[in-house]
Chain A
Amino acid sequence: MAAWQVFAYIAASILFITGLKMLGRPETAKRGNRVSAVGMFIAVVATLVAGGLDFTWILVGMIVGAAVGAIAARRVKMTEMPEMVALLNGSGGLASMLVGWAEYVRAGEALVAFPTVAITLTVLVGGIAASGSVIAFGKLSERIEGKPILFRGQKTLNAALLALALLAAVVVVLNVVLAGGVAGVGVAFAMLLLLALTLGVLAVIPIGGADMPIVVSLLNSYSGVAAAMAGFVIDNNVLVVAGSLVGASGLILTNIMCKAMNRSLANVLFGGFGATVSTAGAAAQGEVKPLTPEDAYFILEAASSVVFVPGYGMAVAQAQHVVKELADQLVKNGADVRHAIHPVAGSMPGHMNVLLAEANVPYEQLVEPEDVNPAMETVDVAIVIGANDVVNPAAKEDETSPLWGMPIIEVDRARTCFVLKRSMNPGFSGVDNALFFKDNTRMIFGDAKATLTGMVAAFKES
C-alpha cells in the first residue's frame, strides 16, 4: 500500500471517529453525519485510484447501488424508517459476507491460516446480519407474523446449527493450514454460507414485536463487526476501525434499550417474550369506561396540564401530525403540553422522536419518563396513543407479570388517562393491561387519527 493511501485511510478513520462523536450530540449531529460521509468518500476514492483495478463492474455496482439507495432514502416515509434501517443494515451485512466469499474464491491456493479464519468469521457474522435484517424487515413491515415464532427444541436446534457452522469453519481453516488450499472443501464452505444465513433467520423469528428496537440495534452492531472482520480479510485498517466503531456504538444502543426494558440481552435473544406469557401474570379485569371524542373535548378543555404518550399505534395510524395539531390547540387554550417518550416505544430506538420531529413538535415539549413520572399526580390528562406495554402498571404492581420491573410511564397516576386504541387487544408482549380498567382511565376506541381529528375539530368549533 502506497504511503499516500495509508494517509488517506488514516484521514478517513479520523473523520469517522469525529463524525460519530458529533452524531451523539444534538448541536453537532447534522455536521457529524456529513463529516463521516466525507470520510467515506475519501476512503472510496483512495481505493479506486490506488490502481490495478478494472473499473467496469465496480462502476456498474456503484451506479445501481447509488440509484437504489438514493431513491429509497428519498421515498421512504418517516413511519417506515424502522424497516428502511433494517434493510440498509441487511445490505451492509450482505456486502461483507460477499467480500469474504469473493476473497476466498480469489485467493484460492494462496490462502494462509489467519485470513482464512477472518474469512469464515466475516461470512458467519455478515450472513447472520444479512438474513436477520431481512426477517426484521419482514416483521417490522408486517409481511411476516410479528409475534414470536417458537417451537419445541428451538434453542437446541439453534445451538446445534451454530456448532455445525463453527465446525464447517474449522474444516475450511484446517484444510488451508494442512493441505495448503481451498481444494476439496467447497462443500464445507457452502455449508458455512447456508448455515450463516439460516442462523440469522432462526435468531430473529423467536423475538417479539416489543423487542424489535433491541434487535434492530443489535443487528446494526453485527453488520459493523462483519465489516471489521472483512478488514482482517483484505488487510485494511480503515475497515477494522470503522467496523469496530459501529459494532461498539450498536452495542451501546442495544444496552440502552435493554435497560429501558429492565431485561438482559440474553433474555431478549432467547426468551421468546410474548408467546408464552398469555397465561402468566394476573389477568386484568374490571369495567371498561369508554368515552366519545366529544366528551373527551370537555375534559381537555378544562385541563391545564396534558401529557401525550405516543407508541407504535401512533406510527401505524400516522397520527403524528394531528397530535401536533391537538397539542397546538391545547397550548392555545392555556394548557401545559408535553410528550413523554419511552425509549422503547415504537419499533426502533428513537422512533417516536423521529415522527414527532417530522410533525414539527417543538423539542422543548419532548420529555423522558423520569422527567414526567415524579409529578404525574399534577397531570390533568395523560393521552396514551397506541402505546401499551410502556404504560402497563403491571410493571410495578404484579410480580408475576413478564413486564415486572420494567420502567414505565406511570400514566395510571395522572388525574385522568385517555387511552386511544382500536380494540381491547393486548400489546406486542401479549400481556393484558390493567390500566384499561383503572377508575381514572377512559377508553376512546377507534382509529387514533380519526379520534384526534375529532378532538381538534371540537376545539376549533368552540
Chain B
Amino acid sequence: MNPLLLFVFVLAIYLGLELITKVPSQLHTPLMSGSNAISGITIVGAIIAAGEPGVLATVLGTIAVAAATINVIGGYLVTERMLAMFRAGKDR
C-alpha cells in the first residue's frame, strides 16, 4: 500500500474545492449529473474484481461492473441530453 495516495487524495480534494467556485444555477443539475458520472470511475476497481479468479469475488465484481457502467453511461448521457437543451445559454 502506497502512503503517497493520501497525499494525492488531499491535493485532489483541495483542487476540487478550488476548481468549482461560482456555478450559475442553470448548470447545477448538469454539474451534479456530470460529476456523478465521474464517480463511476469505481468501474476500474469493479473490472479488476470481476476479472480475477475466485467465485464470490467474481460475482460481486460482475454486479459492481454492471452498477458502475449504469452510473457511467447513464450519467454521461443524461448530462449530454440536458446540456443539449441549453442552446440559448451556449450562444453567450
Contact = CB atoms under 8 A, between A and B. Distances in A.
Interface of A: 16-17, 19-21, 23-27, 29-30, 32-34, 36-37, 39-40, 43-44, 47-48, 52-55, 57-58, 60-62, 64-66, 68-70, 72-74, 76, 78, 81, 84-85, 88-89, 91-92, 94-96, 98-99, 101-103, 105-106, 112, 114-115, 118, 216-217, 220, 223-224, 226-228, 230-253, 256, 341, 343, 348-351, 353-354, 357-358, 360, 362-364, 366, 368
Contact of B56 (A105, A226, A234): A105
Nearest to B12: A244
Q: How large is the interface on B (under 10, 10 to 19, 20 to 34, 35 or more residues)?
A: 35 or more
B76 A40 contact: yes
Contacts, number: 389
Interface string B27-64: 11111111111111111111111111110111011111
A260 to B, nearest CB: 9
B37 A60 contact: no
A30 B83 contact: yes
Nearest to B88: A363
A88 B38 contact: no
Nearest to B85: A357
Nearest to A342: B25
Contact of B73 (A29, A73, A115): A73
B61 A92 contact: no
Contact of B38 (A40, A62, A115): A40
A187 B85 CA distance: 50
B49 to A, nearest CB: 4
Contacts of B89: 26, 357, 363
Nearest to A31: B83
Nearest to B23: A24
A24 B77 CA distance: 17
A88 B78 contact: yes
Nearest to A216: B32
Contacts of A216: 32
A194 to B, nearest CB: 16
A91 B88 contact: no
Contacts of A106: 49, 52, 54, 57
A40 B71 CA distance: 12
A102 B67 CA distance: 14
A17 B1 contact: no
Given A73-B74, A343-B25, A105 B44 contact: no
B69 to A, nearest CB: 3
A84 B55 CA distance: 32
Nearest to B9: A240
A17 B16 CA distance: 8
Contacts of A102: 46, 49-50, 56-57, 60-61, 64
A217 B74 contact: no
Contact of B77 (A19, A70, A226, A353): A70
A373 B64 CA distance: 48
B39 A223 contact: yes
A41 to B, nearest CB: 9
B35 A224 contact: yes
A85 B78 contact: yes
Given A95-B67, A350-B25, A353-B26, A224 B39 contact: yes
Given A17-B15, A249-B19, 6 more contacts: A33-B79, A68-B66, A88-B75, A106-B54, A230-B42, A230-B45
28 contacts: A24-B27, A26-B27, A29-B83, A37-B76, A40-B37, A40-B72, A54-B51, A57-B58, A61-B61, A65-B70, A72-B74, A81-B33, A92-B40, A92-B71, A92-B75, A98-B49, A98-B61, A102-B50, A106-B57, A224-B35, A237-B5, A242-B38, A243-B12, A245-B15, A248-B15, A350-B26, A354-B29, A357-B88
